[in-house]
Structure 1
Amino acid sequence: MTSHPTPLPDTLPNGLRIDAARAEAQRAYELDRRHVFHSWSAQRQLDPMTISAAQGCCVWDGAGHRLLDFSSQLVNTNIGHQHPKVVAAVQEQAAKLCTVAPQHVNAARSEAARLVAERTPGELDRIFFTNGGADAVEHAVRMARLHTGRTKVLARYRSYHGGTDLAVNLTGDPRRWPNDRGAAGVVHFHGPFRYRSQFHAESEAQECERALEHLEQTILLEGSDTIAAIILESIPGTAGIMVPPPGYLAGVRALCDRFGIVYIADEVMSGFGRTGRWFAIEHAAAPAGSSAVSESASSAGEFRAVVPDLLTFAKGVNSGYVPLGGVAIAPHIAATFDDRVYPGGLTYSGHPLATAAAVATITAMAEERIVENAARIGEQVLGPGLHALAERHRCIGEVRGLGVFWALELVRDRQTREPLVPSGGTVLRELDTACRSAGLLLAVNANRLHIVPPCTISEAEAKEGLAILDDALTLADAHTA
C-alpha cells in the first residue's frame, strides 16, 4: 500500500509549525508512557498514537501526517473536529460563566435542555444532565427502579452501556466479565441478529418474531413484577452495529406496556445524527393503530413513533468537545419525583461549558443540515460503496448499517461464517496499520471494522476512505478459506 499519500504540511491546522508540533508530540508521548494509565489496556503493551491536531473529518498524528477519521474517535465527533461555531461557543461561555453549581439556573443548560427536548420522540421533555453516557445509564436505571419499586433490569447480549459499575454489568460483551459479580440485578437476553441468529430464523420477520417470543419468555420466567426496566441500544453500536428488524423495537415497547416495565432507549452512540436521524429509534416507527406506539403520529400520518420512557444520550450531543450526557424523561416518570426527592446528582450536571457546546452543536447541525448529510452519505456513498467492497473481497461476510454508522463483519469463510480473527491472528492489526500508513483511521472491534466517520463527511472524503479500505482489505482476503 502507498504510505501517507498527502505531503507533510509546514503548519498544522491549529497553527503549530511542523517542527514544533513534532517536538511537542514527542514530549507528550514520553509523559504519557511515564504517567498516564490507559483504559481497556494492558499498560506495558501500549504504543499509542499521538494526535497533534484535528480539523473537520481529519486528524494529524505526531509526525504531522493527515489521517481521515473513519472512527469519529469513539464514535462521538458527529459534527467533526474543531467546528468553528462550537469552539466559539465554548470560548464565549468561558468568558461569561465557566462553571456554576447544578442547583442554580444557568442559561446554557436551560437552552440545551430545550433543544434536546425538541428533538427527542414523544414527550420526553424533562432532561437530567450527566457527565457522559455511562452515568446517564446509571441514572436512567435508578429512575426506573424508584419509579416501579422493582429491581431487575433486562439487557441484551451483544450490547455496550458504559464502563461504570452498573453500566458495565448491563453490558452484553466480554468487557463485562472481569467486572461482573452477578449481583447487580441484571438479566441478559438475546436480541435479534440474523447473521449470527440464536433463533435459526430464515427471514428478518421470523428473526423479529422469535426474538420477541424469547424476550417475553424471559420476562415471564424472571417474574414480570420483579423487572424494573428493559434497556436496549436502539442500534447496538460497539457490539456490531446491528440494525434491528422492522417491528422489533415496537414489539419491545408493547411488552413493556403489557407488563408495566420501563423501556430505556440507549442512544448514547446512535443519537444526534449518527444514523441519518436525530435518534436511531426514529427508524422504528410502527403502523398507526398498533398497541406498541405513542399517540403522536408521524408527518406521513401512516406511522407512529416508538417512544421509550427514558432515553440516554451523550457523545454526539456536543461531539465530546466538553464531556456531557443526559437522560430524557417521560412525564409519568418525572411525576414520580414531583414531591419525592430524586436521590442522585452530579457536581457538573449541566456544566455551562458543556451545555454551551451542546447548544452550538445542535444549532449548527440543524442550520447546516448535518443530519440530512449523514443520511445522504449513507444512502448514496457509504452503503453502496461498502456493498461494492463486499463483492470484491471474500473476507467480508456482511455489510450492515445506516447513515454514517456501518460495520463490516470479517470472516474466514462466507459459508460457515467463521470469524476472521480467531484464525487470522494478527491480520486485523496488520489491516489497521496498513490503513493508518495510507492515511485512514479506522475503528476495529473483534472481527469487525466499524465505518463511522463524522456526520459532516463529504462525498469526496467518503470515497477517499473507501478507496484506502479497498486496498487494505486484500490483506484480510489472504487469510480466507
Structure 2
Amino acid sequence: MIRRADSPDPQAGQAVKAADRAHVFHSWSAQGLIDPMAVAGAEGSYFWDYDGNRFLDFSSQLVNTNIGHQHPKVVAAIQEQAGKLCTIAPGFAVDVRSEAARLIAERTPGDLDKIFFTNGGAEAVENALRMARVHTGRPKALSAYRSYHGATAAAINLTGDPRRWASDTGAAGVVHFWAPFLYRSPFHAETEEQECERALRHLEDTIAFEGPQTIAAIILETVPGTAGIMVPPPGYLTGVREICDRYGIVFILDEVMAGFGRTGHWFAADGFDVVPDLLTFAKGVNSGYVPLGGVAISAEIAATFDQRPYPGGLTYSGHPLACASAVATINAMAEERIVENAAEIGETVLGPGLRELAERHPSVGDVRGMGVFWALDLVRDKETREPLVPYNASGEANAPMAAFAAACKRNGLWPFVNMNRTHAVPPCTITPSEAKEGLAALDAALTLADEHAAR
C-alpha cells in the first residue's frame, strides 16, 4: 500500500495542479488527456504528493536522479555557488567550470580529456554529431532503430523509436540499422556469439551500401536505455570500434542515461573495454539538479579545432550553478562509494530478485540489465515472446500495461514503463531494503499482467 508522507496539504496541491493545467504545456502529451501529479517534495529514493502519498522512485524520474533526491552536499554546493557567482558567459575561465571538466575528464575512458558543456543530453548529441561532421567532412550518420538520443533536430532524427516519426522528413542524413538484441533478434540468432557476429556483419553491409566515404559517425547508446536496456553481447562494441577505425568513421557513444554510475561503472564503456571518439553525457552528471550535459572529446577531434573555430555554442554552456552541482555530485559519488553501491545492488539484490520474479510470473519473458539499470520484457506468451501489448500501443490496446502501472502506484512504487516493458532504474544510492521494497511492489503488480499471459 502507499505510505503516507508527513504534513499533507491537499488544498495546496489542488492549487498547484490548477495553475499547471492553466499554463504549462507538457512534453510528449495530448494536453487535454493528462492529469499530472502535483509533487510536494522528495528525498533520497522517495517523492510525495500534497495528499501525503509517498512513492519509491523506481524511475529515478527520467533515469537521471542517480544520486537520489535532495542530496545535501549537492544542494549546499548550489547554494554556495549562487552566493558567489550565479552566471557568467561561456567565454570566460571560471574555477567551478574548469573543476567540473577536470573531474569528468578524469573518469572518461581513454583520451577523452576535453569537455564541451551543454544544457542537457539532446544538445550534447547535437554537438557531437556536428563535431563528427566537421571533423570528417562527411554528411551521414548511422544509428540504431532501438534507440533514443533526444528531441532536438538532429537528435530526434538519430532516435530510432516512434517519437521520431512526426519530425522525420528522411532528409537529415541519418541511416538506421539493427543493433544486437538476442531476445528479439532481427538476425534469427540463437546465441550471443551469433547475435554479435551477425549484427556486425549487418552493420558492415549497411556501411558498404551507403558508401563509407559518406559516413561521418556511428552513434550508439552504450547500453540502450528507454528502448529496452539491451546490454550488448561481448565483442560487439569493440567490433564497432574496429569498423569505425577501418573506414575513418567517428564512433560516438551516448552515455546520457548509462553514464555516472547507472551500470555500476562511472561510464558503461568501462564495462566493455571500448573507447569512443566522442562521448555524450548528461542526467547523472549532477542528477539533473541544474540542467547540464556535455561532450567528452578525443585528442584527435579536439585538434581539428585548434586553429579552426568550432561552429557551435550555447549561452549557458558550463553554467556555474550547473557545474557546481556536478562537482559536488562527482565528489559525493566518489566519497560515498555510490558507483560501487549501484554495482552491488544490481549483483546482489535487483538482478537475483528480478530473475526470481521472472520464474514465478508468466508475464515476464526476459530480464536484462546491470547495476541499477534493468528491464522486464512483459509478454503474453513466454514461448512465442509475443509482447504484452503491441509495438507503440495506445488507448485500449495498451490497457494491460496501463493497469500494471496503476497497480505499481497503488503499491507505492513509481515505475518506468515503456511499451511492453517496465524498467527497474532506481537511484544509484538505493539501499538493499528499499530495493527489496520495490521488488515486492513489482511482484504484486505483475499479477495483473499475468492475467493477460498464457500459463
Q: Which residue of 2 aligns with 1:328?
A: 296
Letter in 1 for 2:379: V
Amino acid at match of 1:354: A
CA distance in 2 between counterparts of 1:213 and 1:346 reads 39
Question: Are the aligned partners of 1:424 and 1:479 in contact in 2 as well (CA < 8 Å)?
Answer: no
Partner of 2:452 in structure 1? 479
Cα distance, 1:50 vs structure 2:
1.5
1:270 aligns with 2:258: yes
The one of 35, 47, 54 aligned to 1:66: 54
Contact 1:240 1:448 in 2 (8 A): yes
1:353 aligns to 2:341 (yes or no): no
- For residues 251-266 of structure 1, what are the structure 2 equivalents within 5 Å? 251-266=239-254
TM-score under structure 1 normalisation? Answer: 0.92
Could you tell me how far apart the structure 2 residues matched to 1:415 and 1:50 are?
A: 42
1:344 aligns with 2:332: no
Match of 2:432 in 1: 459
Q: Check whether the contact 1:58–1:69 (CA below 8 A) recurs between aligned residues.
A: yes
Residues 310, 330 of structure 1: 8 Å contact kept: yes
Match of 1:404 in 2: 372
In the alignment, which residue of structure 2 is the partner of 1:299? none
Supply the AA of the counterpart residue of 1:447. N
**Which residue is equivalent to 1:300?**
none
Q: Distance in 2 between matches of 1:224 and 1:83?
A: 47
In structure 2, the CA distance between the partners of 1:340 and 1:33, relative to structure 1 (3 Å rule), is: same
Q: Which residue identity is paired with 1:219?
A: I
Equivalent position to 2:403, from 419, 430, 434: 430
Letter in 1 for 2:418: N
| Deviation for aligned residue 1:359 | 0.1
Tell me which residue corresponds to 2:114: 126
TM-score normalized by structure 2? Answer: 0.98
Matched residues, number? 449
Q: Alignment partner for residue 347 of structure 2, among 379, 382, 387?
A: 379
Q: How does 1:134-173 map to 2 (within 5 A)?
A: 134-173=122-161
Does the aligned pair in 1 maintain the 2:363–2:382 contact within 8 Å?
yes
Tell me the equivalent position of 1:296.
none
1:386 Cα deviation from its structure 2 partner = 0.1
SS of equivalent to 2:389: helix
Unaligned runs of 5+ residues in structure 2 are: 391-395
Q: Secondary structure at the residue paired with 1:263?
A: strand
Deviation at 1:435, TM superposition (A): 1.1
Q: After TM superposition, give the deviation of residue 9 of structure 1 in Å.
A: 4.0
Q: Deviations over 1:429-454 (max 9, x none)?
A: 11111111111000000000011000
- Correspondence list, 1:53-452, <5 A: 53-285=41-273, 306-422=274-390, 425-452=398-425
Is the contact made by 2:5 and 2:54 (CA closer than 8 Å) also made in structure 1? Answer: no
Deviation at 1:424, TM superposition (A): 6.3
Q: Contact 1:138–1:167 (CA<8 Å) still a contact in 2?
A: yes
Q: Aligned equivalents of 2:229 and 2:344: distance in 1?
A: 18
Consecutive unaligned residues of structure 1, counting only runs of 5 or more, are 12-17, 286-305
8 Å contact kept, 1:49–1:62:
no
C-alpha distance after superposition, 1:111-145 (max 9, x if no partner): 00000000000010000000000000000000000
**3-state SS, counterpart of residue 380 of structure 1:** helix
